[in-house]
Amino acid sequence: MSNRTVALVPLRGGSKGIPGKNIKPIGGKPLAAWALEAALSTATIDEVWVSTDSAEIAKVVQEVSSQIRIINRPAELATDEASTEEVMLHFAENEAFDRLITIQATSPLLTSSDLLQALQKFNANDYDSMVSGVVQKRFVWQLDGKPLNYEPRHRPRRQEWEGVLIENGAFYITKRQVLLEDKCRLGGKIGVYAMPDETCCEIDEIRDWEVVDRLLFRQRRGERDSRLAKIKVVMVDVDGTLTDAGMYYDKNGEALKKFNTRDAAGLNMLVDAGLQVVVVTRENSEIAAARAIKLRLPYRTGVTDKGRAIEQLSQEYGISLSEIAVIG
């Protein structure tokens, strides 16, 4: 029995709300890159595809990874009126798969962990399709004053109510047979996958962009802080790092270096925080050695192989390479 799982990221070129949205930088990379990288990092996804009508988008996608495959979207499927299902069916006509994960780039907070866990749940429960969303404990009403998800005379207590799942548009998983028979992304035995609250925000308008940009910054800061917490040794270069990268000569032609006292204060802060700082430079420089001695830091001059120097520090201090930071 085949179990071919393919991810499809639809990327249309004619966004009007936010021009060029799919490749516009957010959180330090093109919007589409977040979803694409999440899919590429999911071991149980066999291939990652992009459906696009734009050569510019295709070029950016290939810069994200040459592993991503491109299917050219016909002009009639690149209009405002064309549905996602039509794009999915066009893909199904041209490519083989058993399960299709349709991922929307407008939800960049999606992670590979989400995709992996969703696929595991999908397979374990033998679902035919799956929708992602966020659990919210909110009461929903129609505009004509009719409640949709509760009875006002029996209003549930928040702590005793499971709530409802609101679609967040991050991804949908669909078996091939369901897609072809129902012409819909959801059908048959439908499963749900709940994601964190902050993923409820999709990027449709510029105000959404600003909110998600802040969330991505916070997410990346958390990942960075987690990595930094493991650091035990900091290896620091000299020229252009502890100096202004300029070369100064006296009247006798001897080179001089200009150091910044703020760097010294920063290195002292690292030492006070319990980190070991080591000065390593390619030059056989008495000036660099004098500065390191002044700062009371161990130093090594004449080092031509910085990679080997890092390995030696790892062995000397009995730590892993991931516990060493290098500033150069």
> When comparing pLDDT for 71 and 260, which is higher?
71
- pLDDT tier at 254 (50, 70, 90 boundaries)? low
Max CA-CA distance within the chain?
Answer: 94
Where in the chain does DSSP place strands (E)? 5-11, 25-26, 29-30, 47-52, 69-72, 99-103, 129-136, 164-175, 190-194, 233-236, 248-249, 255-256, 276-280, 299-300, 324-327
Adjacent-strand bridge partners of 48: 7
Adjacent-strand bridge partners of 134: 166
Res 135: pLDDT: 92
The secondary structure of residue 291, as a DSSP letter, is H
CB 57 within 8 A of CB 23: yes
Where in 41-93 does DSSP place strands (E)? 47-52, 69-72
End-to-end alpha carbon distance in the chain: 53
User: Per the structure block, which two tokens stand in for 92?
Assistant: 């199904």
Adjacent-strand bridge partners of 192: 131
Write the pLDDT tens digit of every residue in 102-152: 999 999 989 999 999 999 999 999 999 999 999 998 899 999 999 999 899
Res 1: pLDDT: 43
Q: Please give the single-letter amino acid code of residue 135.
A: V
Q: What is the mean pLDDT of the chain?
A: 90
Separation CA 107–CA 303 (nearest Å): 46
In 3-state terms, what secondary structure has residue 10? strand
Separation CA 210–CA 203 (nearest Å): 9
CB 168 within 8 A of CB 200: yes
Write the pLDDT tens digit of every residue in 1-53: 468 999 999 999 877 777 888 999 888 899 999 999 999 999 999 999 999 99
CB 69 within 8 A of CB 49: yes
User: Per the structure block, which two tokens stand in for 140?
Assistant: 């929903």
Q: Does residue 97 register a pLDDT over 60?
A: yes
Separation CA 168–CA 130 (nearest Å): 12
Give percent above pLDDT 70 in the chain. 97
Write the pLDDT tens digit of every residue in 169-226: 999 999 999 999 999 999 999 999 999 888 888 887 788 888 888 888 777 666 666 7
pTM over 0.85: no
